[in-house]
Amino acid sequence: MSLQLDFPAVLERWPSFLAGAVLTLELAAFATVLGALLGTLAAVGRGTHNSLIAGACKIYVETIRNTPLLVQIFLVYFGLASLGLKFSAFTVAVTALTINVGAYTAEIMRAGFEAIPRGQIEAAEGLALSRLQIYWHIILLPAVEKVYPALTSQFVLLMLASSVCSQISAEELTAVANYIQSDTYRAFETYIIVAVLYVILSLVMRAGFWGLGLVLFPRRRRLGTPL
Amino acid sequence: MQQNSSSEPIVSLRNVRKSFGPLVVLDGVSFAVERGEVLALIGRSGSGKSTALRCIDRFEKVDDGEIVVCGHRVDRPDVDLRALRQDVGIVFQSYNLFPHLTIEQNITLAPCAVKGMATAEAKDLARKVLVQVGLEEKLHAYPEQLSGGQQQRAAIARSLAMQPKVMLFDEVTSALDPELTAEVLKVIEQLAADGMTMVMVTHEMGFAKGIADRIVFMHRGKVHETGPASILTSPTTPELTQFVGTGNLKS
Amino acid sequence: MGGHLNINHLMFLGQGALWTIGLSVIALIGGGIVGFVIALARISPLKSVRLASAVYVQLIQGTPLLVILFLGYFGLAAIGLKVSPLTAASASLTLYVAAYLGEIWRGCIQSVPKPQWEAAEGLALTRTQRMIKVILPQAIRIATPPTVGFMVQIIKNTSLASVVGFVELMRSGQIVNNSLFEPFAIYAIIAVTYFAMCYPLSLFSQRLERRMGRGRSNLAPA
């Protein structure tokens, strides 16, 4: 066994690594925003009295949570293709990741909604606010605040899981790594570097969510309650 | 106390029935509240007084009977809830201020969102109602920075900002210790003096006696005895005698 | 190319499904053993041990499983260690699962009420005795629902072993597709099969959770 590591040979490809990391962040950002929207809607849907909507939302959540992301990505990829629709790998990746993280978000948000005391909703109803206004002004922010750690962890996991998109040749960080290692024959060094980059990306995301929390929850900032 | 004999009652319940499963909570309840009147609903826990109050703002649906509140047929399934609740203000035992909003935002939310009031106007209004409850310096505080009594006064101010025609108080001092109870009762007394129509469920017999124009004593889901505040000192039914006799008539 | 899905294809997919279960069991046992050590290390009285295990968890939880699998397969091969896809997948999944189970179990151990720890200390039990006789039996009860929930994640995650050429359910689907070229239909069958394996476990985990009366949301990678 000869253990001769040559990091410089791989590191000189840094522009490619950087481009891959940027694309990974872009994928994660799009899917996080869209998935948060989709998931919140699905959580609201599961709470409605309309059993058709509630049932559909439940089926969506359970189907996604009980199948692998890799299978979901291929299904979206070939599903769109069989409909005769041609999209870029990036669009397919964002679509699949959004559908995936939306289901997890829905479960987390549902827990958040359920944690809102009944009296809050009655007080809002007593002030003549509409159903939609109650969700928007009274329930949403406190619910997000209650599940913020779980929610943001899920979004970091999503960023890491986006590495699977390399399998439909989206040019994100893992795909870049696959390409560089086959080019340089330095697999071990390449994947070590990529692993470090992912760790950095997840730290960056956590820091970002911490900062966002300060903006979203001014009460906590003022009262000094930890997030 | 002022009475207005010319118009319809603001709130009227006629033969209202309501059950939770096999448990009959309201068994043919009738009473009416005139404009400017203060009505106190008293009775043991489980007598149905809170349920009766919650039916007025339709937090409970009735099984049978008629409820008219400011012209709204509350017993009908097609009642316009949002119109009803603009006419009726309700204050709860547990305050239910919105924890993520400042006191000012708690107050301005409904006038802006429901009535479409301009922000500047709503802020002026918030200041005005907070002065009314003696909390003007807490405009920018968050609810958890306030004592229980202050939170309840802020909740009253929030209700007042919607300029309701009648206000409902559901055991608003039950969660407070005596000292804080006094400051909340003082605010309600001032409202009564200003001529606000009010229905209150209360355990404070001394307060009810001092402020109420009329007392409705509920027992086992029925209106058992009703009359002016003097019925508390000279009750005619044995149940009310026992109720006021068991130390309920304090302060 | 061409042809229809026949009994041989289905047998092949079934075999793949069995390997998915096999790999999941390996990952659960391997990850469980290492994860248990991690959980204990995370609450060790020795600061260096706590720090080392925390760094391990942070590194693994900050890296995609796919990259860990590549490290285990291409990486080890590149430095002269020839390993089979099964070995590489088992080793990688073990390291990955250990980091997550370790954290879940640490949380469970620490959620055993404080008076229990103090009572055990008051009885003059040694640290090991306290752990084995008092704390762990209670922690296992708390840990059961989230562990069952995490088994769902393990099963789903084994699908990534297909990328390094291990023929489990996902890979066998790809192989069948190479001869039939009906990707949508075949991946739909694969999805249904995964669902059939995962959903009962999900339901079971939810039932256990409800019975314990705790509504913790079940966090895990996709």
Query: CATH number, domain at C30?
Result: 1.10.3720.10
DSSP notation for chain A: ------HHHHHTTHHHHHHHHHHHHHHHHHHHHHHHHHHHHHHHHHTSS-HHHHHHHHHHHHHHHTS-HHHHHHHHHHHHHHTT----HHHHHHHHHHHHHHHHHHHHHHHHHHTS-HHHHHHHHHTT--HHHIIIIIIHHHHHHHHHHHHHHHHHHHHHHGGGGGGGT--SHHHHHHHHHHHHS-HHHHHHHHHHHHHHHHHHHHHHHHHHHHHH-HHHHHHT---
B147-192, pLDDT tens digit by residue?
A: 999 999 999 999 999 999 999 999 998 888 888 898 999 999 999 9
Residues of chain A in Cβ contact (below 8 Å) with chain B: 117, 119-120, 122-130, 133, 137-138, 141-142, 145, 217, 219, 222-223
Q: Does A179 map to a domain?
A: yes
Enter the pTM of the model: 0.87
- Which residue in the block uniquely carries the two structure tokens 């307060």? B207
Q: Does A88 map to a domain?
A: yes
- What is the token pair recorded at A170? 């989206």
Q: Contact at 8 Å (CB) between B69 and B87?
A: yes
Q: Does C211 map to a domain?
A: yes
Let me know if B145 is exposed, middle or buried by CB neighbors in 10 A (0-12, 13-18, 19+): middle
> Would you say residue C51 has pLDDT above 80?
yes
With helix as H, strand as E and coil as C, how does C86-132 read?
Answer: HHHHHHHHHHHHHHHHHHHHHHHHHCCCHHHHHHHHHCCCCHHHHHH
Residue A2 confidence (pLDDT)? 53
Let me know if C105 is exposed, middle or buried by CB neighbors in 10 A (0-12, 13-18, 19+): buried
Question: Which amino acid appears at position A225 of this protein?
Answer: T
List of chain A residues whose C-beta atoms are within 8 Å of the C-beta of residue B85: 125-128
For chain B, the domain total comes to: 1
Q: What is the CATH number of the domain that holds A92?
A: 1.10.3720.10
> Would you say residue B35 has pLDDT above 90?
yes
Q: What is the CATH number of the domain that holds B158?
A: 3.40.50.300
Query: Mind telling me how many Å the CA of A114 is from chain B's nearest CA?
Result: 16
Res. A47 pLDDT band, cuts 50 70 90: confident
Residue B247 confidence (pLDDT)? 56
What are the φ/ψ torsions at residue B222 (nearest 5 degrees)?
-125, 155
For chain A, the domain total comes to: 1
Q: Does C2 map to a domain?
A: no
Q: Does B55 map to a domain?
A: no
- Best of A116, A122, A127 to disrupt the B interface by mutation (most B CBs within 10 Å)? A127
Q: Does C209 map to a domain?
A: yes
| Closest CB to A199 among C63, C183, C195 | C63
Query: Mind telling me how many Å the CA of A128 is from chain B's nearest CA?
Result: 5
| Closest CB to A119 among B82, B83, B92 | B92
For chain C, the domain total comes to: 1
Average pLDDT, chain A: 91
Average pLDDT, chain C: 89
What are the φ/ψ torsions at residue A5 (nearest 5 degrees)?
-90, 140
Q: Does C220 map to a domain?
A: no
Q: Contact at 8 Å (CB) between B45 and B35?
A: no
Q: Contact at 8 Å (CB) between A24 and A173?
A: yes
Closest residue on chain A to B116 (Cα): A129
Residue from C217, A225, A214, A129 nearest B98 by CA: A129
The angle formed by the CA atoms of residues A86, A87 and A92, to the nearest 5 degrees, is 130
- What is the token pair recorded at B194? 């200003």
> Would you say residue C113 has pLDDT above 90?
no
- Domain residue limits at B78: 11-49+62-246
Q: Does B5 map to a domain?
A: no
List of chain B residues whose C-beta atoms are within 8 Å of the C-beta of residue A126: 57, 59, 85, 88-90, 92, 159
Q: What's the rounded Cα separation, in Å, for the pair A175 and A168? A: 9
| Closest CB to A160 among C63, C162, C217 | C63
Mean pLDDT over A180-184 rounds to 87
Query: Mind telling me how many Å the CA of A214 is from chain B's nearest CA?
Result: 13
Q: Does C222 map to a domain?
A: no
Indicate yes or no: CB of A202 within 8 angstroms of CB of C199.
no
> Would you say residue C221 has pLDDT above 60?
no
List of chain A residues whose C-beta atoms are within 8 Å of the C-beta of residue C77: 187
Query: Mind telling me how many Å the CA of A221 is from chain C's nearest CA?
Result: 26
Out of A21-30, A210-219, C11-20, which region has the weakest mean confidence (pLDDT)? A210-219
- What is the token pair recorded at A197? 């980059």
Mean pLDDT over A70-96 rounds to 92
- Domain residue limits at C210: 7-215
List of chain A residues whose C-beta atoms are within 8 Å of the C-beta of residue C70: 174, 177-178, 181, 187, 191
Using DSSP bridges, classify how beta strands B214-219 and B197-201 pair: parallel, antiparallel or unpaired: unpaired
Query: Mind telling me how many Å the CA of A10 is from chain B's nearest CA?
Result: 50
- Cβ neighbours of residue C54 closer than 8 Å, sequence gap 6 or more: C42
C157-211, pLDDT tens digit by residue?
A: 999 999 988 999 999 999 999 888 889 999 999 999 999 999 999 999 999 988 8
| Closest CB to C190 among A71, A163, A191 | A71
Q: Does B131 map to a domain?
A: yes
Mean pLDDT over A64-81 rounds to 94
Question: Which amino acid appears at position A81 of this protein?
Answer: A
Q: Does A113 map to a domain?
A: yes
> Would you say residue C218 has pLDDT above 80?
no
| Closest CB to A145 among B86, B90, B100 | B100
Average pLDDT, chain B: 91
Mean pLDDT over B216-245 rounds to 90
Q: Does A204 map to a domain?
A: yes
Residue C219 confidence (pLDDT)? 42
Q: Is B30 helix (H, G, I), strand (E, B) or coil?
A: strand
